[in-house]
């Protein structure tokens, strides 16, 4: 994930998402075409819809120190939340072999999310998409 503190207003093609207070901002080249609704024990509690992007396609447009992290059993990914308002913003893989990350699509403006197809993943049971 790149970090550029000098990013200014860019073309309207950039999709922005922020936490509730606006302290954490991520920028994407395009809104997601597809989001995942996962029912695992963690995601159902978070109430998120995940949009997956290559790490290199996400720009962290605010100070990365503005998030706290949580890793379920200390494995796989770090879930990031805003230190100020508590909104879950994204997850980032712990392994350098992984090249994508998850963005909490619920933080997008409703019109950016409206066209996305929602896929339902049964991570609490079969692990399959319905």
Cβ(62)–Cβ(23) under 8 Å? yes
Percent over 90 (pLDDT), the chain: 72
% helix, strand, coil for the chain, step of 5: 15, 40, 45
Is the confidence at residue 11, as pLDDT, over 50? no
CATH classification at residue 106: 2.170.150.70
- Region 1-27: mean pLDDT is 73
Place of tokens 């000098």: 6
Closest to 14 in 3D by CA, of 28, 3, 26: 28
Is the confidence at residue 130, as pLDDT, over 90? no
The Cα 32–Cα 105 span in angstroms is: 8
Domain that holds residue 77: 14-121
At 103, the pLDDT band (50, 70, 90 cuts) reads: very high
Structural domains in the chain (count): 1
Q: Residues 37-86: pLDDT tens digits?
A: 999 899 999 999 999 999 999 999 999 899 999 998 777 899 999 999 99
Is the confidence at residue 5, as pLDDT, over 60? no
Q: Is 1 contained in some domain?
A: no
What local confidence, expressed as pLDDT, does residue 6 receive?
Answer: 45
The Cα 81–Cα 129 span in angstroms is: 26
Higher pLDDT among residues 50 and 12, named by residue: 50
- Region 27-45: mean pLDDT is 93
Q: Is 5 contained in some domain?
A: no
Q: Is 130 contained in some domain?
A: no
């Amino acid at each position: 994930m790149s970090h550029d503190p000098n990013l200014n207003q860019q073309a309207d093609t950039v999709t922005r998402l922020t936490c509730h207070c606006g302290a954490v901002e991520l920028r994407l080249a395009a809104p997601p075409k597809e989001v995942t609704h996962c029912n695992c024990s963690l995601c159902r509690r978070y109430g998120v819809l995940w949009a997956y992007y290559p790490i290199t396609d996400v720009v962290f447009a605010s100070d990365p120190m503005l998030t706290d992290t949580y890793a379920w059993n200390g494995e796989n990914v770090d879930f990031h939340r805003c230190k100020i308002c508590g909104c879950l913003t994204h997850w980032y893989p712990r392994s350098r072999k992984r090249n994508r990350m998850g963005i909490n699509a619920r933080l997008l403006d409703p019109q950016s999310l409206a066209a996305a197809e929602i896929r339902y993943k049964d991570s609490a049971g079969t692990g399959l998409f319905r």
